Chains A and B, each alone.
Chain A
Amino acid sequence: DVKVTQSSRYLVKRTGEKVFLECVQDMDHENMFWYRQDPGLGLRLIYFSYDVKMKEKGDIPEGYSVSREKKERFSLILESASTNQTSMYLCASSLPGTGKIYGYTFGSGTRLTVV
């Protein structure tokens, strides 16, 4: 069964900390994405990557950066966590072609709380 695995289900961090959220997929997908989900705001794209070492800004990249050193791993970095980054973070992946019909495969999410 194909999988997107996010390293933590729940995280609590302090304001100002540097936070790493890790995502690994075992499907050999080229495309990987980071979203955040907030009540009433739906799913908003933070960053995405179409290949190793490539990254593109999504709709809300401010306060975030990403790293993709290997095809299977896509990391989201909060350089200095703030309370307004408290959210559910979702990683997803897809193949360039099948994403058109089947969409993305999502991980289970990381619920981050910044205190």
Chain B
Amino acid sequence: DQQVKQNSPSLSVQEGRISILNCDYTNSMFDYFLWYKKYPAEGPTFLISISSIKDKNEDGRFTVFLNKSAKHLSLHIVPSQPGDSAVYFCAAIFRWAGSYQLTFGKGTKLSVIP
């Protein structure tokens, strides 16, 4: 049963506009959420994270919003650039056997059109 869900497999956005990628989760025990970016034929790279006690975290063009009551988070990219075209994975951290594990969503492919 998937605990982290990305319901949009793909998204297309014009260059310069805002990209909004969404993620829903079911487990209220998750204590950190992360976004990864993945280009074809490369491994995922860490983008931004947010603690479950926060509702917003910002890093340059990237902002993650967390709505705990709705069990929903979103990644905003402003302004979107062609180099942002990639697959974005939402992930959640949970505690297991004294350490932490990530569980991933299925990903959303973002295409930024010049």
Kindly list chain A residues whose C-beta atoms are within 8 Å of the C-beta of B93: 99-100, 103
Kindly list chain B residues whose C-beta atoms are within 8 Å of the C-beta of A43: 44, 89, 104, 107
Are B43 and A100 in contact (CB-based, < 8 A)? no
Does B45 lie at the interface of the complex (its beta carbon under 8 Å from any beta carbon of A)? yes
Of the candidates A9, A94, A101, the one whose C-beta lies within 8 Å of that of B41 is A9
| A: interface residue count bin | 20 to 34
Q: Taking A48-B101, A99-B93 as contacts, is the C-beta distance between A40 and B9 under 8 angstroms?
A: yes
**A3–B30 Cα gap in the complex (Å)?**
27
Q: Taking A100-B31, A102-B46, A103-B36 as contacts, is the C-beta distance between A31 and B41 under 8 angstroms?
A: no
| 25 A-B residue pairs with CB within 8 Å | A4-B43, A40-B106, A42-B104, A42-B106, A42-B107, A43-B107, A45-B101, A50-B98, A96-B99, A96-B100, A99-B100, A100-B31, A100-B100, A101-B51, A102-B34, A102-B46, A102-B49, A103-B91, A103-B102, A105-B46, A106-B44, A106-B45, A109-B41, A109-B42, A111-B41
